[in-house]
Amino acid sequence: MRFAAALLITLLWATPVLAKGLSPEKCSVTIPILYMTDRAASAKGYAAQRKVEDGNSIYHVNCGTAEYSLAKASGNALTDKQKKLGWTASTKSQPKLVTKVLAGSGTSTAYSDFGQAIKDVASSTGSNEFFVIVHGFNTTFAQATESAAELAYSLEKPVIVYDWPSKGRPGQYEVDSGNNEWSQEHFDQLIDQLSEVKASGIKFNLLAHSMGNRLAIRSAPVLRGKHLFSQIFLVDADFDAETFVHYMSRYARITEENQKSDLAQGLTPPRMRILFSHRDHALPLSEFLYGGYTRLGQAADGMLTSVFSLSAFSRMVDLASNAIGATEGAKPIVEVRPDMMMKFEWIDFTALDYGIIGHTIPYQLIANLAATDKPGDGLELVDSENGGVNKLSKFSLGLFHEKKRISSRIGQCKRVVVLNSKNKDSNKVTSDKVASSKPVAN
């Protein structure tokens, strides 16, 4: 059964998805990206394998700058802001990707050198706000840098890509899952390094896609108390929904003591948005492989009501505390304050998702939300009741007898609506201003 599911994933993820068309007249926009990767270095760049390490070289990661050339419709000259960010434009054919390693890449100074590189970019560009992007399954190094360049193009801000050793092959889902877990300590160390850089006045935001959400969410113990990211976007999250609630129950809670401390320092919890799509057919396949347990990006699991229903969460904590108190004979102490739980914003971007399997990153939507809290021209965010799961999810739920874990709704969410779309498919956006022109891997 698992072989059949893996085969189905291979067939679907190997199916080409046609990109939306660009104007015949194109130009190439080259965008610089900072990268950190724990892939093995090779003569052609970075391989699909993990880097080789021993007990003394765990933190000897590879890092540097990458320049990725995106094909964009020509017509507008680069602005002064874009030029200051290091963008260049050309109508001539040129290499898609050019990398330059930092002096400390692959050595014991890799992280500190990378931190200095971030400061140098902030100084040269005049931008003190960076986005960190973590890719998902079935992604090569070149594809990871392309995705980062797409994000930078939409944001017009410096972007850092954390690239873990995905095999870049649709039939290697379980191998990627293991490599993703292996990469956790390297990513956690990056969190520590970024926290040091933040002290110099630089701000950071985070975008994690699909399996990349596992690195982001599992870093919660390291992130706790650091207030590193101002905004967090979890997109198409391939992470067990109930396990997510466990992490939030422990690491997103706020006590009276740390609340006072945060207020005294002028600190606020990050703004976290979870983006999902009912056109996403990749996550139901992942759900199938994991025995019918819902993925966070499906946004339909009954356990997620604990994030929304504060009274329900309070009762859950009280019951747990009373049970512990009865066992130990001590008076239960409830540290959790549900009214101060980290707030989540659920955004249904089905109208912007496209392709046979969906599971795309709405770069421009994220850029607009990060800058203005609005979705952008031609779009609107409306209050909506979340609909039920799609047919693939229902199949997995029935097969594994897990229907009781799924509720028909998770409560209120925000839904992206396309305005003035008389001549547009209701589930597809053709404007390059609204959505990325290319699909992304899981």
Number of domains the chain is built from:
1
Say whether 261 sits in a helix, a strand or coil.
Answer: helix
Q: What is the pLDDT of residues 359-412, one digit of tens each?
A: 999 999 999 999 999 999 999 999 876 655 555 566 655 655 555 544 334 556
Query: In what helix (H) or strand (E) does residue 202 lie, and over which residues does it extend?
Result: none
Query: In what helix (H) or strand (E) does residue 208 lie, and over which residues does it extend?
Result: strand 203-209
Q: Is residue 423 part of a domain?
A: no
Q: Is residue 441 part of a domain?
A: no
Q: Which residues of the chain have pLDDT under 70?
A: 1-26, 73-75, 253-266, 300-343, 385-412, 421-442
Q: Is residue 440 part of a domain?
A: no
Q: What is the pLDDT of residues 109-154, one digit of tens each?
A: 999 999 999 999 999 999 999 999 999 999 999 999 999 999 999 9
Residue 10 and residue 424: Cα distance in Å, rounded?
Answer: 31
Q: Is residue 434 part of a domain?
A: no
Q: Is residue 435 part of a domain?
A: no
Q: Is residue 442 part of a domain?
A: no
With beta carbons less than 8 A apart as the criterion, state whether 153 and 29 touch. yes
What residues contact 308, with CB distance under 8 A and at least 6 apart?
410, 411, 412
Phi, psi of 279 (to 5 degrees): -90, 0
Q: Is residue 400 part of a domain?
A: yes
- Residue 348 burial by Cβ neighbours in a 10 Å radius (0-12, 13-18, 19+): buried
SS3 of 409-439: CCCEEEEEEECCCCCCCCCCCCCCCCCCCCC
The partner residues of 234 in beta bridges, in order of sequence, read 208, 274
What's the pLDDT at 400? 57
What's the pLDDT at 298? 85
Beta strands in 74-176 (DSSP E): 88-90, 97-101, 129-134, 159-163
What's the pLDDT at 214? 98
Residue 78 and residue 95: Cα distance in Å, rounded?
Answer: 20
Q: Is residue 63 part of a domain?
A: yes
Q: Domain limits at 397?
A: 2-418
What's the pLDDT at 225? 84
